[in-house]
Amino acid sequence: MHAPMAGQCLSLFVRYPNQEPVLRELDQLPQSLGELRNTLEVLDDQQLQILDASGQYLQVEQVGQLFDGASLRVTVPRRRVFVSLEGSSQSRPVVWYPGSGSDQIESAIVKACGLPVGTPIELLEDDVAVVISPTIPNDSVLTAVPLVSQTNGGSRQTEGYASPERSSHMPESPRRRGATPSFPPRSASASRGAVSP
C-alpha cells in the first residue's frame, strides 16, 4: 500500500450509499481532496472514508491516503439534537438525514417530547429562539416550548392543532407570557352577515 505518484493510474473500489462497491478508474491522482470528491461524485453533505490496513474506515483527509486498489465508502452523515420539553430535565435525541424538511424535523421533535402531533412549538437554546431547520448544528441541546394562545376566559392553554383554522387566535411565543395580545377591533361591517347561535 504505497501512495501513488503524480500521473499514476489509480483503481479504487467505491461503495456509495445503499449500493454495491463499484470500480472507479482514475487516470491520475487528484491534486486536492476537493478534486477527488468531484471526480468520485461525492456530495457536500456526504463523507468519504477509506479502509485502512486494520480493517477500520477512516475519514479521507488528504489524497496521500489513497493507494491503488483502495476500498472507499461514501456515507451520509446524520444530524442529531437533544430536546426536552419545557420544565422537564429529561432530554431525548432526535436524528435526521439530509433531505429531511423542517416540518418533518418539527414533527419528530414534537413526538419526542410527548406532545400531540401538530402541536406548534418554539425551540429555545438557553433563552434564544432557534429556527427549526435541517442545518441546526449537531448535538445542540434545545428546549421545546408549546406555543399558547389566549382563550375567552383569560387563561392560557396549549393549542394542539395542525392549522390556524382550528383556533380563533394565533399562538403566541411563550416568552411573551403575561403580555396580553392586542387584536384589532372588529368593525360593524365585519360582523354583519355573521350567524349567531
Q: Torsion angle of alpha carbons 134, 140, 146, 147, nearest 10°?
A: -70
Q: How far apart are CA 45 and CA 16, in angstroms?
A: 13
Tell me the pLDDT tens digit for each residue of 10-58. Answer: 999 999 988 999 999 999 889 999 999 999 999 887 899 999 989 999 9
Please check whether residue 50 is in contact with residue 58, taking contact to mean a CB–CB distance below 8 angstroms.
yes
Q: Which residues contact 58 (CB under 8 A, 6 or more apart)?
A: 49, 50, 52, 65
Tell me the pLDDT tens digit for each residue of 73-90. Answer: 999 888 899 999 999 989
User: What pLDDT is attached to residue 179?
Assistant: 45
Residues in the chain: 197
User: What pLDDT is attached to residue 194?
Assistant: 41
User: What pLDDT is attached to residue 45?
Assistant: 78
Tell me the pLDDT tens digit for each residue of 90-101. Answer: 999 999 988 889
User: What pLDDT is attached to residue 185?
Assistant: 46
pLDDT greater at residue 193 or residue 81: 81
User: What pLDDT is attached to residue 99?
Assistant: 82
**What does DSSP say about strands 121-125 and 79-85: parallel, antiparallel, or unpaired?**
unpaired
Which range among 64-78, 122-136, 175-189 shows the weakest confidence by mean pLDDT?
Answer: 175-189
Closest by CA to 108, choosing from 69, 134, 138, is 134
Please state, in angstroms and as integers, the Cα–Cα distance from residue 46 to each residue in 6, 38, 41, 74, 79, following that order. Answer: 26, 12, 10, 6, 12
User: What pLDDT is attached to residue 121?
Assistant: 95
pLDDT greater at residue 59 or residue 6: 59
C-alpha dihedral sign at 96, 102, 105, 109: positive
**What does DSSP say about strands 128-130 and 121-125: parallel, antiparallel, or unpaired?**
antiparallel
Tell me the pLDDT tens digit for each residue of 134-151. Answer: 889 889 999 999 997 645
Tell me the pLDDT tens digit for each residue of 53-80. Answer: 899 999 999 999 999 999 999 998 888 9
Q: Which residues contact 9 (CB under 8 A, 6 or more apart)?
A: 25, 26, 27, 28, 68
Q: What is the DSSP letter of 172?
A: B
pLDDT greater at residue 116 or residue 170: 116
Residue 6 has pLDDT above 70, yes or no: no
- Phi, psi (rounded to 5 degrees) for 112: -65, -30
User: What pLDDT is attached to residue 186?
Assistant: 44
Grid cell of 36 as nine digits: 477527488
